[in-house]
Amino acid sequence: MEFLQALYANPLLFYAVLAGLLASVCSGVIGSYVVVKRVVLISGSIAHSILGGIGLCVWLQRAHNISWALPLYGALITGILSALIIGWIHLYYREREDTVIAAVWSLGMASGVIFISQTPGFNVELTSFLIGNILWVSPQDLYLLVLLDAIVLTFVVLLHKRFLAICFDEEQAKLQGISVKFYYLLLLTLIAITIVMLIQVVGIILVMTLLTIPAAIGNMMTSRLSRMMMAAVILCALFTFTGTATSYYLDWPSGATIALLAGAFYLVSLLVINRSRRVSYQ
């Protein structure tokens, strides 16, 4: 109750909860593709490489007074670039895929750390991007989240059947004249956009939790990808809301609290579902 009153009284907290809910929409939908297409590692690499773009923009802003170089733009550009590079390697040089994933992962992180080390002043923003600080969300960020939600959802509504086909059986999709390479790269790009949205909420290090855990729980509950997406959106929204509320009461970092809640819920669901399966086999 106290949290709800604080929500009403404090616009920062209200923006934080709204940002969490907006990010949950894309997270549940795109996270479901990440889980069923088994591109969790690729998504992890995209997420970590984003620090390079963020670091560059923070450096441009602070060291060179280029005010329009917002870290979020840097995150978006680096995320999409990394997605396209990894996707291209996956499609054309599959035997080196894991090495490239690791290279993009560490190069992004390393360049981000170096740019930030060269930036004058105390870098609270680095911590905020790494472990998240949902309470820093501004009204402009909310508009951007709405726009990104709209872009991602429009693509999904129009292309879901095609994405479903390439996630389940690439060979068959190809035989039916679907450009598997194009849709694979597009899917990775949408994953990159979603990761950038989620970084606002939980930060780079914890982003994979929100992207994969709600979808993985959803996968245990349903027999259709569309229903798995709905379940994942609801769970993700639940985790971000209860996580923000818990962090408010306990004065914990919001991103870590959200990730902890999601992780604990996943472990409990695994135990419950495995137990119920064992009972039904007996």
Partner 1 sequence: MNSKPAVQFHDVSFGYDHLFTLEKINFTIQPGDFVGVIGPNGSGKTTILKLILGMLQPREGKVQVLGKLGYVPQRLHLDPKFPISVRELVLSGRLSQLPWYGRYSQADKDIAERAMETVKIADLKDQRFGTLSTGQAQRALLARALAGEPKLLILDEPTANIDPESSAEIHQILKGLAKHMTVIMVTHDLTTVIHDTKKVLCVQEGVTEFSPDEVCEHFAIGLYHAPLIQKEDS
Residues that bind partner 1 (CB under 8 A): 36, 38, 157-162, 164-165, 167-169, 171-178, 219, 222-225, 227-228
Identify which of residues 41 and 159 has a Cβ nearer to partner 1 in the complex.
159
Residue 222, classed as helix, strand or coil, is coil
Identify which of residues 69 and 159 has a Cβ nearer to partner 1 in the complex.
159
Q: Is 246 exposed, middle or buried (0-12, 13-18, 19+ CB in 10 A)?
A: middle
Give the contacts of 165 (CB within 8 A, at least 6 positions apart).
172, 173, 176, 178
| Cβ at position 157, least distance to partner 1 in Å | 7
| Cβ at position 1, least distance to partner 1 in Å | 38
Give the contacts of 127 (CB within 8 A, at least 6 positions apart).
133
| Cβ at position 85, least distance to partner 1 in Å | 26
Q: Is the separation of the CB atoms in 181 and 3 below 8 Å? A: no
Identify which of residues 106 and 179 has a Cβ nearer to partner 1 in the complex.
179
Distance CA 143, CA 237 (A): 18
Residue 9, classed as helix, strand or coil, is helix
Identify which of residues 121 and 177 has a Cβ nearer to partner 1 in the complex.
177
Residue among 27, 76, 85 nearest 210 (CA): 27
Q: Is the separation of the CB atoms in 64 and 85 below 8 Å? A: no
| Cβ at position 266, least distance to partner 1 in Å | 16
Identify which of residues 138 and 176 has a Cβ nearer to partner 1 in the complex.
176
| Cβ at position 177, least distance to partner 1 in Å | 5
Identify which of residues 165 and 199 has a Cβ nearer to partner 1 in the complex.
165
Identify which of residues 138 and 226 has a Cβ nearer to partner 1 in the complex.
226
Give the contacts of 254 (CB within 8 A, at least 6 positions apart).
16, 132, 133, 134, 135, 201, 202, 243, 244, 247
| Cβ at position 82, least distance to partner 1 in Å | 25
- Residue 69 region by backbone torsions, left for phi larger than 0, else alpha for psi between -120 and 50, else beta: beta
Identify which of residues 142 and 164 has a Cβ nearer to partner 1 in the complex.
164
| Cβ at position 270, least distance to partner 1 in Å | 14
| Cα dihedral: 186, 188, 193, 194 (round 10) | 120
| Cβ at position 206, least distance to partner 1 in Å | 25
